[in-house]
């Protein structure tokens, strides 16, 4: 696998950051499975991500990066430690409260899109808005689909869309509630190179336009390079974290 190494930032000005972290993780441990099959996935993770920062999570398969992303999104509960997102500790929330918080504050993009096959693009994007009680969900969903270039595909079902179009619908759905944080797990992993680059450009354009925090799990060096900072995981631990760095690909 290609490696990523840090390069100095003297010629790359860092954007201003809010002093309060958007995501704060402290002494986090998480194991999955039971009995002899139980595996220690994340080991004593502590991490701060600034408001408005774009962060790439990289590492070998099995390093724990996707699990860490799911913990940030409130989709996995750690065994120990604390996760604080936008000033709210996940430890203080039961499952229903956590789901409501996630619906308001965290947008999630999956590698496999996770669209509802019996719903049109417009209906898929409307779902989180309707769940949140948005008064004009369909109109808001249509605007979000227009922003990702799908104004002509509102009434198409997932099976009628290309992979790139399905990922655009998934991004529109994640962005529709106007979340403070967007997390994406291998958002280009199921796409060809050209389509993947278009999705990367779309994600970073929306990140810049909305000023949201963005955390991306990726094996794609070009995608990682566009982030403000890259964090490498190895065997469930953060490997030499380097704040405010740009990264380049090396052999």
Instruction: Give CA separation, 106 vs 9, 86, 102, 235, in Å.
Output: 29, 10, 5, 26
* pLDDT confidence of residue 221: 81
Per-residue confidence at 37, pLDDT binned at 50, 70, 90?
confident
Q: Does pLDDT of 242 surpass 70?
A: no
Per-residue confidence at 243, pLDDT binned at 50, 70, 90?
low
- The full set of domains in the chain, from first to last, is 3-250 (3.40.50.300)
* pLDDT confidence of residue 190: 87
Q: b/e per residue, 205-222, with b = 16+ CB within 10 A?
A: ebbeebebbbbbbbbbbe
* Global confidence as pTM: 0.84
Give the pLDDT confidence of 4-22 residue by residue, as tens digits.
Answer: 433 333 333 334 444 578 9
* pLDDT confidence of residue 246: 47
* pLDDT confidence of residue 19: 54
Give the pLDDT confidence of 68-115 residue by residue, as tens digits.
Answer: 999 999 999 999 999 999 999 999 999 999 999 999 999 999 888 999
Give the pLDDT confidence of 106-159 residue by residue, as tens digits.
Answer: 999 988 899 999 999 999 999 999 988 888 999 999 999 999 999 999 999 999
Task: Give 31's contacts (C-beta < 8 A, 6+ positions apart).
Answer: 38, 39, 40, 41, 79
* pLDDT confidence of residue 240: 64
Task: Give 10's contacts (C-beta < 8 A, 6+ positions apart).
Answer: none
Give the strand pairing for 229-234 and 80-85: unpaired
Give the pLDDT confidence of 166-219 residue by residue, as tens digits.
Answer: 999 999 999 999 999 999 999 988 889 899 889 999 999 999 999 999 999 998
- How many helices (H) and strands (E) the chain has is answered by 7, 12
Percent of the chain past pLDDT 70, that is, above it, reads 88
């Amino acid at each position: 696998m290609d490696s990523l190494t840090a390069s100095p930032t003297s010629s790359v000005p860092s954007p201003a950051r809010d002093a309060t972290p958007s995501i704060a993780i402290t002494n986090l441990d998480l194991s999955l499975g039971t009995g002899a099959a139980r595996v220690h996935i994340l080991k004593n993770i502590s991490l701060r991500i600034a408001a408005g920062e774009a962060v790439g999570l990289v590492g070998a398969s099995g390093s724990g990066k996707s699990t860490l992303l799911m913990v940030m999104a409130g989709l996995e509960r750690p065994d120990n430690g604390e996760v604080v997102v936008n000033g709210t500790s996940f430890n203080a929330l039961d499952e229903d409260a956590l789901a409501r918080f996630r619906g308001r504050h965290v947008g999630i993009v999956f590698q496999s899109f996770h669209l509802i096959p019996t719903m049109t693009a417009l209906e898929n994007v409307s779902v989180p808005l309707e769940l949140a009680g948005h008064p004009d969900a369909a109109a808001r969903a249509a605007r979000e689909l227009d922003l990702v270039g799908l104004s002509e595909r509102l009434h198409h079902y997932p099976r009628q869309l290309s992979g790139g179009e399905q990922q655009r619908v998934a991004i529109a759905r994640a962005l529709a509630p106007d979340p403070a944080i967007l997390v994406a797990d291998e958002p280009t992993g199921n796409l060809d190179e050209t389509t993947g680059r278009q999705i990367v450009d779309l994600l970073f354009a929306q990140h810049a336009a909305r000023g949201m925090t963005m955390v991306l799990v990726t094996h794609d060096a070009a995608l990682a390079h566009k982030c403000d900072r890259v964090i490498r995981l190895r065997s469930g631990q953060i490997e030499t974290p380097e704040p405010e760095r740009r990264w380049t690909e090396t052999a």
